[in-house]
Amino acid sequence: MDVLDTDWLILGGGAAGIMAAIRAKELCPTCRVTVIEKANVQRSGCLAAGINAINAYLNPGETAESFLSYVKAEFANLVRDDLVYTLAERLNEMTDRLVEWGLPVFRDEQGRYLRRGRASVQINGEAIKPLMAAALHQCGAEVLNHRVATDLIVIDDRVVGALVLNLADGSFTAVRAKGVLIATGGVSGIYGPNAGGAARHKQWYSPFNAGTGLAMAARAGAELTSLEMRFIALRVAHTMAPTGTLAQGVRTPHINRLNAHYLNDYTYEQVAPTTAERLWATLQEEKKGRGPCYLDTRGLTSEQGERLQKAYLSMCPTQVLQWSDAGKRPEEMPVPITGSEPYLVGGHGMAGLWIDERRRTTVTGLYAAGDAAGGAPKKYVTGSMAEGAIAAETFFNEIQDWREPRPDAWQIAVCAALQRARQPLEPKEDSTKGNCENNNKSQIRRLEEQLQAVMDRWAGGRPAGYEYDAKGLLRAQQEVDYLIEAGREIKASEAYELMRVHEVWDRLLLARLLLAHMLYRQESRWPVYQSRLDYPARDDQRWRIFVNSRIPAQNTVTKIDLEIIERPPVDSHGRDGQTALSSFGGGAA
Amino acid sequence: MTLLINSQRCRRCGGHPRCADVCPGNLLVLPERGHIVSREPDDCWDCGACIKVCPQQALAVSLPPEAGGQGSTLRAKQIAGKIRWTLEHPDGRLETIDL
Ligand SMILES: Cc1cc2nc3c(=O)[nH]c(=O)nc-3n(C[C@H](O)[C@H](O)[C@H](O)COP(=O)(O)OP(=O)(O)OC[C@H]3O[C@@H](n4cnc5c(N)ncnc54)[C@H](O)[C@@H]3O)c2cc1C
Ligand code: SF4
Ligand code: SF4
């Protein structure tokens, strides 16, 4: 097997990973920086289709402090202040970098970036990912596309590299590194999509971000936080297209089936509804039989309609098909909206790896940034980039602590990782291969759909109105445990299938962790996102804490044994890393 | 099945398929002979990445019936760094939109 040596190993070439590579090369041009990307950095991850706003930016008058207050108010006063604050300080630098790389922006009369909402600016982001990829190639980092990271290589509780599957030929490479960054994005596919069949991947979040980075870090003993705060998006029904362009961009009102403006019929914690409360109000209307709800585009001019069409082509082309399939122009037909399936996504919500202010996980040598990192919601593209940059800076501060792993220990650790990763592979000489391939594919698919059915039904999926209770969660735990067992028998005959088996395994593991989190938090803190039938009220006295989980490292192969840890909130944002580090001292429960 | 492949138009990109290279889900493969195929047509995210790089306009997206699709399709062509989209309405009417 090939061994590749590098200094800074980045798993995932999205917003966070690309910035982590560029920053590393700025700090140390002679260092080896390697990006492992499962697809091609050109169009991989969340940004594949493009976007049309930078959703985290400090407009004139805003500060890192005011950004933090805004995020806290949106998330029931429980976020990691230190993380939100330190990324907020870098948001405008990241936006300027994107513009420098060629991202087209709109400007107001004073030449400032055109404001779209309190913390967002309007852009033309169809090519945001290719522009980032060009900057990445320019910086001189080594980029390995179509390579899937499957496992971390761990020696004496320290991460020393990762095992990587080459999709082109099925070979594995062991990459030895002084520091490893998890930048593989969030997790979709734990719950069933809104529509099935040929529309099963008409999801909002990338169906290809399977949570592999979270799963491999969990298996290496890293702590995860706030999984119970699932993110559920208010999106266009059927296409799952983002709605910000309509609601914020052209300020279309929310209406129900009876044409009534329903948002004002509800009371909210503050005057204006939060993102979660808007979703909640919409679901209430559906429950009361006044759905579907819409964003009413009918007051727009034809010129605005044309601009909307272009905006969606630059971000979610199928939205344009929805209008033409209905035989209508955008300004002639209100756009139906509804809730997506739940995701675990640290860029929008709270779920992800538990990190300190300097973006270190709880395992030495392992860092995390972007959608894979928890505790700092509403970071989006620029916040993810900021975290990548901070992680790179921390890595170079600590590089002198690194010790070359002993060759024998390295061998053993690589073999252990390889054995797990290759386990689903069938013996090569199998003569029934042709048939097998199809059979494998449908078994992989079936297992994934079984998981989704269990979660949808018992663990607050969309069909259950996103609500759940202990009884259902316990039932789900039992069934997921069974599926994990059954999943060990699934086979793969080539590299792509092997990747798919790992994706389902990772989703199963994360579902199991998620259920433990959901069961542990005995209150309802975040409307819709975390809402219990058996504990319907919010309880600040007891539950203004982070719920974390961890798999004791020795228990990863056989039974999943996990421990829940409570962490107190960090209501300060010290600039020296000490504040966040001390929060690691919370007691186990 | 939301990605539409026009087998007549695909010229295989000299054995290095551009569409397959950019697909975020690694869904497209070029067999030894013939045109590009999707491993799992239902797994397409409809991101449009493949459509925008195909030099032959051999690829298009449509909404599946499960998502209310009525047969409209979208194709794209790169012209001097800009994208020209062609939207075909269910009645066959063509509309071009330049970005
Ligand atoms: C549809 C959509 C629209 C959005 N719109 C906006 C917007 O308008 N404005 C805004 O500011 N934000 C927006 N966001 C949020 C923003 O895109 C994300 O927060 C940001 O991209 C997260 O960066 P990331 O690097 O963590 O994840 P990603 O950018 O998704 O990158 C993760 C990368 O890891 C790779 N990967 C995954 N697993 C592996 C593995 N095992 N091995 C190797 N590589 C792997 C993936 O292929 C991917 O390239 C949007 C998100 C979505 C899904
Ligand atoms: S539209 Fe996107 S997900 Fe679908 S095949 Fe093309 S590149 Fe892949
Ligand atoms: S990019 Fe177009 S021509 Fe090239 S292989 Fe793909 S479909 Fe065929």
Q: Do A201 and B21 touch (CB under 8 A)?
A: no
Q: Are A543 and A210 in contact (CB under 8 A)?
A: no
Q: Is B90 in the pocket of ligand 2 (CB under 6 A)?
A: no
Q: Is B60 in the pocket of ligand 3 (CB under 6 A)?
A: no
Q: From the list B25, B61, B99, which residue is nearest A314 (CB)? A: B99
- As a whole number, mean pLDDT of residues B52-66 equals 94
Tell whether A322 is within 8 A of chain B (Cβ): yes
> Which residues from B are below 8 Å from A318, CB to CB?
2, 46, 61, 63, 67, 74
Q: Do A49 and B69 touch (CB under 8 A)?
A: no
Q: Are A153 and A417 in contact (CB under 8 A)?
A: yes
- The pLDDT score that the predictor gives to residue A556 is 52
Residue closest by Cα to atom 7 of ligand 3: B10
Q: Which of B10, B28, B39 should be mutated for ligand 3, with most atoms under 8 A from CB?
A: B10
Q: Which residue of B has its CA nearest to A499?
A: B26
Q: Do B47 and A43 touch (CB under 8 A)?
A: yes
Report the alpha-carbon distance of residue A459 to residue B94 in Å, rounded.
Answer: 46
Q: Which residues contact A411 (CB under 8 A, 6 or more apart)?
A: none
Residues of chain B in Cβ contact (below 8 Å) with chain A: 1-2, 21-26, 39-49, 61-74, 83, 85, 87, 89-90, 95, 97, 99
Tell whether A203 is within 8 A of chain B (Cβ): yes
- Tell me how close the Cα of B61 comes to any Cα of chain A, in angstroms: 8
- As a whole number, mean pLDDT of residues B33-45 equals 94
Amino acid at A151: D
Q: Is B36 in the pocket of ligand 3 (CB under 6 A)?
A: yes
- For residue A573, give Cα distances in angstroms to A77, A83, A359, A374: 15, 8, 14, 16
pLDDT digits (tens, 9 = 90+) for A172-212: 999 999 999 999 999 999 999 988 888 888 899 999 999 99
Tell whether A499 is within 8 A of chain B (Cβ): yes
What ipTM does this complex have? 0.97
Identify the residue among B47, B78, B95 best suited for mutation to test binding to A, counting A beta carbons within 10 A and taking the highest. B47
Q: Give the pTM.
A: 0.96
Domains of chain A: 2-230+342-408 (3.50.50.60), 234-339 (3.90.700.10), 434-567 (1.20.58.100)
- The pLDDT score that the predictor gives to residue A246 is 85
Low-confidence ranges of chain A (pLDDT < 50): 576-589
Q: Is B3 in the pocket of ligand 3 (CB under 6 A)?
A: no
Residue closest by Cα to atom 7 of ligand 2: B23
CB pairs under 8 A between A and B: 134
Residue A292: count of CB within 10 angstroms of its CB: 14
Q: Are B26 and B17 in contact (CB under 8 A)?
A: no
Q: Is B27 in the pocket of ligand 2 (CB under 6 A)?
A: yes
pLDDT digits (tens, 9 = 90+) for A393-436: 999 999 988 889 999 999 999 999 999 999 999 876 655 556 67
If pLDDT is split at 50, 70 and 90, which confidence band does B67 have?
confident
Q: Are A237 and A337 in contact (CB under 8 A)?
A: yes
- The pLDDT score that the predictor gives to residue A184 is 98
> Which residues from B are below 8 Å from A43, CB to CB?
22-24, 47, 49
Q: Which of B1, B3, B62 should be mutated for ligand 2, with most atoms under 8 A from CB?
A: B3
- The pLDDT score that the predictor gives to residue A139 is 98
Q: Which residues contact B39 (CB under 8 A, 6 or more apart)?
A: A496, B26, B27, B28, B29
% of chain A beyond a pLDDT of 70: 95
Q: Is B48 in the pocket of ligand 2 (CB under 6 A)?
A: yes
Tell whether A167 is within 8 A of chain B (Cβ): yes
Own/partner pairs, A333-336, CB within 8 angstroms, 24+ separation:
A333/A297, A333/A298, A334/A255, A334/A294, A334/A295, A334/A296, A334/A297, A334/A298, A335/A236, A335/A243, A335/A246, A335/A252, A335/A294, A335/A295, A335/A297, A336/A236, A336/A237, A336/A238, A336/A292, A336/A293, A336/A294
Residue B50: count of CB within 10 angstroms of its CB: 27
- For residue A324, give Cα distances in angstroms to A126, A312, A549, B69: 21, 13, 47, 9
Q: Which residue of A has its CA nearest to B46?
A: A318
Q: Which residue of A has its CA nearest to B30?
A: A168
- For residue A317, give Cα distances in angstroms to A7, A129, A314, B54: 39, 16, 7, 16
Q: Do A318 and B43 touch (CB under 8 A)?
A: no
